[in-house]
Chains A and B, each alone.
Chain A
């Protein structure tokens, strides 16, 4: 047993032990010191799947559904799992172009080959039914459930607004939103987003390397349920809304009707409008671009964003301010000679009796009369100074929310405009202007601008004889009647004019306008109402037809403002529309079908 190399067993044994030690050190490092692998393992094998709740349903004031949800499906793909498949077949099922599909598939691959990406979002349930049967032919593709907005009637698109994918800016601002989530972009969908969206839930699944779900993680202990969005009841009357939209068809313009006793907005029409269903689902981006390109600007919500010269409607406010400032009373008479004589017949006026008292001046919408009133307000002795008087005039107007946002729950409401001293100082030079320089403000022209919503609110203030609730479109949110969100709509607001008699004089004039004045042709059988016609001079084209009214005269239930662009005289188009709507709202039926037919069928756009 003499072996010269016997000692080498120690070297070999030593090498074996050395390797074992190296491995144990390495394992100690991997398994105990380095914690990064533990996180990797969690990300690797857990897949968080977002559960998208259905958005809240929006109802009208009578419980009719304005928008609800239908199931929709996103086609997802995990590129790694796909095998050779018939692209043309898949495209024909999905009704998309092959190029578009190829591009999206490429994008999905670029994002990740082994994580799911949306390849086509919001497949309709009809397409889904077809797709589902054939899905086995397309391994790697699967469908994820979502809900889509659905509208029973194509109305109130501007009120409801629309929902779209959240933009990266919002994602940065608000941690709730993740890439691919939906968010209300305009209208109620936007204003009441936090209620409507509900709460996303998450399901954590264990997945294998192919992202195949192997079961829920920890028996769903860490899953959170999705909370369905809160339903919202609006103040809108769906029937009235539909009726208004019909009347406004083929016309540009706007209708806003408010219940003055509550400030609830009964209808808001901005015409031309669009079918809200066009901005849902896969067709949204295409349709959106088309709507955006449309020269008639259907996406533009004229009711809250268009600033029109108030025209004759402003004479009502002038009448109120004049009385408030003590330069006018019911018996004040001013002459009219087809215009305002002190300035050589400008502003012009139409033929009527002269001189007129306040009530008749309103009834006949005399330009000359209100130019005198404006002059007397601005040159009011008690201020000794044009600027002070002008400021007083302006402040009262502002208290009527003219040139100031009403504070409604519309997103993107604009404030209109009422020029300031500063503005005129800039144009004419400091102290170089006076009442006669800006005389057309008295008849609601010049730089003045008012939105149809503000205009309706002014009428509601008059109807209420001096106060108003902030006009709003949401009546209640969910079942919670004490929600503080809507509390501000329950507070009475007063203007700077508190004397009810001052309003009564104006109301008398408006009543006269219906009885014997400019709106005499628009009487509604069995209903007394007050109105004021207007013709807003439009520097860009034909005058706008303007009409404001409230009905009935006592305990008014509707205050309305109608504006038809480029339609001329107020009593011609805006008046009949307002009259029909009031009739419809108060009596529930129309006794003037010929008028209705005539209005609905007339095309004032020209094409």
Chain B
């Protein structure tokens, strides 16, 4: 009896309330999004809003059930849970039902389940378990390898299901790892990667290599104003470039000048690195490494974009970056979504008055594009309120995670925040044209049992762990 009261008292009711509010807002917006005059009752179970109510009821039951478990259960059974979920991921590849080119669903009669949704909390548990283990050191190469395995095994399996969106979610764990001591360069590199990616997409790769080649000696000279050394560097490159140019000329210009520069850069980089090493000019090496890796990266981006990504993925990125514009074709979804949100204005059109979402102009308006309904019917006020609720929840999660005495609980808490953050940013970002169209749901809002339940499990395991924070020291 005493214990029960403790749990009740130590539960963070703020986050539970945020959860309940978001789930109910989601339900009301699903109602508005697929509202059908013929079935106007929000409790009509033949409609999505009726069904969502069932999923919500079940989600509450799941949340309650989680509270019945001992808080040590999750830490203790982490690996079995991870293993079972992996097993499901593999089985869905074999037995799953293929819809829209994705093999991501189990179908039992009219009931459908998406195992990849439940993989998230399992992976989070596994990471928490591994990172909180005794003697764990994040800078250890072996540790990094295991972390990589824990993340990329499910990630890879989901990629095999052809569900790129869900697999990208696992990138979110970078926040968790950063919090646990991963070098800040990871975040820096992530940022650089994004910037370089954008540059590589928007600017011709040949121009990039030219600009970088001009910049490198200038930067070097600014750091170390010795004309002689700069001259040597330029000389080496010039020599290498003329050799490759000569070769290319000999084979009748089979390759473009870009490749001449590219090869010359590599050759001269090796030479310069050796010289810099001998003369102990450390930043010369740094500049060369940065130069080479940047050039390689832009080349890789081009290659990956044209030869690895599929057409629709290329289109979505092109559309987002404004390289191409086809509001009736590839850009249709985002354009309609922006129209819906933009037409909401300051106060919105009012409940059930949204014309864009209600009349199916916005695709997937009850799942991936549910935020449009908020934007159209509730306007700027509504979107800011929803965004704020999510942000408060994320900050509250950080706060809760930080107050854990158990490392396992803290790491898990950061995992929850990271996954939710990724979903929120990508989902809302896509509806307002700031992120490419990646089909992942808005947590607690989007229609669908699997995603609602998986987010509920993900969140409530943490709330359960938090409610026990005074007892566990593991």
Contacts and interface: CB of A to CB of B under 8 A. Distances in A.
Interface of A: 1, 4-6, 8-9, 11-13, 15-17, 19-20, 22-24, 26-28, 30-32, 34, 36-38, 40-42, 44-46, 113-114, 206-210, 214-215
A16 B384 contact: no
Interface in B166-184: 175, 178-181
B342 A37 contact: yes
A26 B387 CA distance: 12
Contact of A31 (B341, B390, B429): B341
A5 B179 contact: yes
6 shortest A-B CB distances, which residue pairs? A37-B342, A41-B343, A208-B359, A45-B355, A20-B391, A31-B380
Contacts of B379: 31
Contact of B429 (A23, A40, A210): A23
B149 interface: no
Nearest to A112: B328
A34 B388 contact: no
Given A22-B434, A44-B356, A209-B360, A16 B343 contact: no
Contacts of A209: 336, 359-361
Nearest to A34: B342
29 contacts: A1-B405, A9-B179, A11-B178, A12-B175, A12-B417, A19-B425, A20-B388, A23-B387, A23-B434, A24-B384, A27-B387, A28-B380, A30-B341, A31-B345, A32-B345, A36-B342, A37-B342, A38-B342, A40-B339, A40-B342, A41-B342, A44-B355, A45-B356, A209-B336, A209-B359, A209-B360, A214-B358, A214-B359, A215-B37
Query: DSSP majority for the A interface?
Result: helix
A44 B391 CA distance: 33
A44 B339 CA distance: 9
Contacts of A28: 380
B353 to A, nearest CB: 11
Given A4-B181, A31-B375, A37-B339, A13 B395 contact: yes
Query: DSSP majority for the B interface?
Result: helix
B402 interface: yes
A281 B432 CA distance: 49
A36 B343 CA distance: 8
Nearest to B388: A20
A287 to B, nearest CB: 39
B428 interface: yes
Interface in B376-405: 376, 379-380, 383-384, 387-388, 390-391, 394-395, 398, 401-402, 405
A17 B391 contact: yes
A11 B187 CA distance: 11
Contacts of A4: 181
A114 B360 CA distance: 13
Nearest to A10: B398
Interface in B329-356: 336, 338-346, 355-356
Contacts of B88: none
Nearest to B376: A41
Interface in B244-274: none
Given A11-B178, A27-B375, 15 more contacts: A5-B179, A9-B402, A12-B417, A13-B395, A16-B421, A23-B425, A23-B432, A27-B387, A30-B375, A37-B342, A40-B343, A41-B356, A44-B336, A209-B359, A214-B358
A206 B355 CA distance: 8
B339 A41 contact: yes
Contacts of A26: 432-434
A208 B37 CA distance: 14
A31 B342 CA distance: 4
B359 A45 contact: yes
B27 to A, nearest CB: 22
